[in-house]
């Protein structure tokens, strides 16, 4: 029963941390809702998105984690007074065979501990089912996966110099190379997240290993695994809150990377515009193919800038097009900006309203 109280309190702390992480990343998403950036699939350049839309993907994962935590809190059952093998035989003897009094005692004790009558385990062995531990551990491991994905993305973006975690004024980025600014916070979080995902499998083995009403080989393992799961989840959420509250964006670098890839992405629009101007689609398609391959070869083998647009502008078949309009990055992001607005209004705001008393109450101070 004490374990149930501790886990209920622990899940409450995790819920508070998640709410604050969701709020912080959503604020970042709103601030950058319409900033076009290069999308990546397979870590290769893909269609444009926006910095804010990408942040919504991170936020969405943490919302799923919050929903899982809420489910576990809402369905957590108190073991109650069931005695050694769960039959309540000792209490039945104490109350001279009155089953009603035994049941009443179960409800009274649960109520004193803050569990309603419908939140008492109907049957148990000597302990509550260790499947409870396993289920909670998997929820915490899910948080580990979300944190790992978020922090890995920030680490990759830092390498691209598009975005980075906050960096202290006197912080040492590398003990060997003074010029470096290693993503130390995110590296720390991914390391702990991997540990969390690994240790979360142990409660499953403990649940599987139980013999009949109970065997004691669960005890030492449980006291290590469940405590470490909660401590690790709390630590990585605090790191994410610290990072997401101080993310630094470099729009000029983002724009330069977009400009380097956009000419290739814009060829379909350029082709359609040239056809509308009276050109032959088959002829124009072949011209674009030739110019694109020549430009790509220049980029790959000579390390020079992408000159596809200047090549097209110099070609009479494409000379009179409105390239400023055709190459406006905002026209390549689809509904990304609207999706950010809709997501925040429909998914984040209800959380902010529901947990208004928790926002701003999580500790994100780190020693770096």
For domain 267-326, give the fold. Answer: Ribonucleotide Reductase Protein R1; domain 1 (1.10.40)
Consecutive H or E run containing 40 = strand 36-41
Round the CA-based radius of gyration of the chain to a whole number and report it: 28
Name the residue with higher pLDDT: 27 or 217.
27
Q: Take residue 140 and report the two structure tokens written for it.
A: 């915490």
> In this model, does residue 180 exceed pLDDT 70?
no
The predicted model gives 95-113 an average pLDDT of 93
Please state, for a pLDDT cut of 70, what percent of the chain lies above it: 96
pLDDT in tens, 54-101: 999 999 999 999 999 999 999 999 998 988 898 999 999 999 999 999
Q: What is the pLDDT of residue 363?
A: 81
> In this model, does residue 42 exceed pLDDT 90?
yes
Confidence of residue 178 (pLDDT cuts 50, 70, 90): very low
Name the catalytic one among 42, 170, 175, 367.
42
pLDDT in tens, 344-357: 999 999 999 999 99
Confidence of residue 168 (pLDDT cuts 50, 70, 90): low
DSSP state of 67: H
Name the residue with higher pLDDT: 251 or 84.
251
* Class at the top of the CATH hierarchy for domain 2-77+128-253+336-354: mainly alpha
In whole angstroms, what separates CA 54 from the centre of its chain?
Answer: 11
Name the catalytic one among 174, 219, 280, 330.
174
> In this model, does residue 175 exceed pLDDT 60?
no
DSSP labels, 313-364: HTSTTTTTS-HHHHT-GGGGSTTHHHHHHHHIIIIIHHHHHHTTTTTT-S--
Q: CATH 1.20.200.10 occupies which residues in the chain?
A: 2-77+128-253+336-354
Active site residue 174: yes
The predicted model gives 269-279 an average pLDDT of 91
Q: CATH 1.10.40.30 occupies which residues in the chain?
A: 267-326
**Nearest one of 119, 118, 129, 135 to 69, comparing CA atoms:** 135
Name the residue with higher pLDDT: 128 or 272.
272
Active site residue 205: no
In whole angstroms, what separates CA 241 from the centre of its chain?
Answer: 12
């Amino acid at each position: 029963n004490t374990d149930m109280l501790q886990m209920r309190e622990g899940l409450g702390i995790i819920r508070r941390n998640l709410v604050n992480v969701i709020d912080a990343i959503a604020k970042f998403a709103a601030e950058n809702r319409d900033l076009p950036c290069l999308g990546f699939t397979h870590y290769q350049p893909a269609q444009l998105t926006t910095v804010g839309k990408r942040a919504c993907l991170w936020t969405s994962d943490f919302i799923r984690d919050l929903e899982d935590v809420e489910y576990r809190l809402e369905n957590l059952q108190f073991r109650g007074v069931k005695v050694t093998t769960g039959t309540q035989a000792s209490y039945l003897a104490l109350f001279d065979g009155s089953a009603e009094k035994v049941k009443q005692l179960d409800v009274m004790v649960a109520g004193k501990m803050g569990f309603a009558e419908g939140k008492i385990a109907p049957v148990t062995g000597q302990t509550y089912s260790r499947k409870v531990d396993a289920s909670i551990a998997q929820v915490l491991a899910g948080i580990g996966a979300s944190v790992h994905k978020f922090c890995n993305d920030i680490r990759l973006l830092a390498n691209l110099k598009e975005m980075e975690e906050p960096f202290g004024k006197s912080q040492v980025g590398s003990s060997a190379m003074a010029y470096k600014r290693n993503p130390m916070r995110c590296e720390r979080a991914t390391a702990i997240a991997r540990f969390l995902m690994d240790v979360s499998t142990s409660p499953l083995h403990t649940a599987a290993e139980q013999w009949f009403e109970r065997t004691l080989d669960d005890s030492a393992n449980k006291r290590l695994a469940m405590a470490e799961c909660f401590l690790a989840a709390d630590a990585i959420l605090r790191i994410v809150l610290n990072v997401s509250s101080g993310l630094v964006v470099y729009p000029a670098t983002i724009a330069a990377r977009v400009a380097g890839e956009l000419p290739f992405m814009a060829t379909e629009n350029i082709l359609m515009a040239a056809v509308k101007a009276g050109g032959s689609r088959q002829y124009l398609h072949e011209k674009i193919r030739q110019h694109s391959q020549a430009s790509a070869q220049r980029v790959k083998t000579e390390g020079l800038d992408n000159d596809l647009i200047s090549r097209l502008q110099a070609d009479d078949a494409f000379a009179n097009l409105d390239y400023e309009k055709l190459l406006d990055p905002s026209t390549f992001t689809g509904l990304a900006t609207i999706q950010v607005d809709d997501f925040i209004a429909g998914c984040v705001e209800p959380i902010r309203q529901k947990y208004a008393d928790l926002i701003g109450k999580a500790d994100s101070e780190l020693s770096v």
